[in-house]
Structure 1
Amino acid sequence: MKQDLHPKYYNDAVVKCACGNTFTTGSTNPELKVDVCSQCHPFYTGKQKVLDTGGRIEKFMKKYNMKNEGK
């Protein structure tokens, strides 16, 4: 077998989120930077936002001749 085939594994790799939350996990990288974690993800926080950028919802409703009853 080849020697040194597998990458180095770090048991205490630090994960840094864009929201400022940090935690440790195991990884082949010593530091990981993520955009969303369980502390700021809308699914886990229950603070889901519906973003209508550029009126896409209204455009869809108009295209298919539907009424927007959700508002």
Structure 2
Amino acid sequence: MQKEIHPQDYRLVAFKDMSNEEVFITKSTANSKETIDVDGTEYPLIKLEISRTSHPFYTGQTKLIDTAGRIDKFKNKYKKFKK
């Protein structure tokens, strides 16, 4: 293993899943300008769109997200082929 290529400034960081507001704390070197107070202690905050608490693979639940009506466009386009 090469020496002196790995970061040395590991610290506790709060990661917040924005889809379900779940917060978990782990060691990281990620930088952040935002902070969050968890149980009276202030941690740097990293916001996530999806994490283990909201990802369908881990939760076993599927979530349908209709972005810009894509599903409706698809259904309308192929409606004539439906029997």
**Residues 1:66 and 2:81 aligned together:** yes
Paired residues of 1:8 and 1:28 also in contact (CA < 8 A): no
Deviation at 1:22, TM superposition (A): 1.4
Q: Give the TM-score of the pair, scaled to structure 1.
A: 0.55
Deviation at 1:45, TM superposition (A): 1.1
Q: Give the TM-score of the pair, scaled to structure 2.
A: 0.50
Higher strand share: 2
Question: Counterpart in 1 of 2:17?
Answer: 17
**Structure 1 residues 49, 66: CA separation in 2 closer, same or farther (over 3 Å shift)?**
farther
CA root-mean-square deviation: 2.8
Q: Which has the higher contact order (CA 8 A, sep 6+)?
A: 2
Give runs of aligned pairs for residues 33-44 of structure 1, distance below 5 A: 33-44=47-58
Larger Rg: 1
| Structure 2, unpaired ranges of 5+ | 1-6, 32-43
Which residue type is aligned with residue 15 of structure 1?
F
What secondary structure, in the 3-state scheme, does the structure 1 residue paired with 2:64 have?
coil
| Structure 1, unpaired ranges of 5+ | 1-6
Tell me how far apart the structure 1 counterparts of residues 45 and 10 of structure 2 sit (CA, whole Å).
9
Tell me how far apart the structure 2 counterparts of residues 60 and 9 of structure 1 sit (CA, whole Å).
54
Deviation at 1:8, TM superposition (A): 7.3
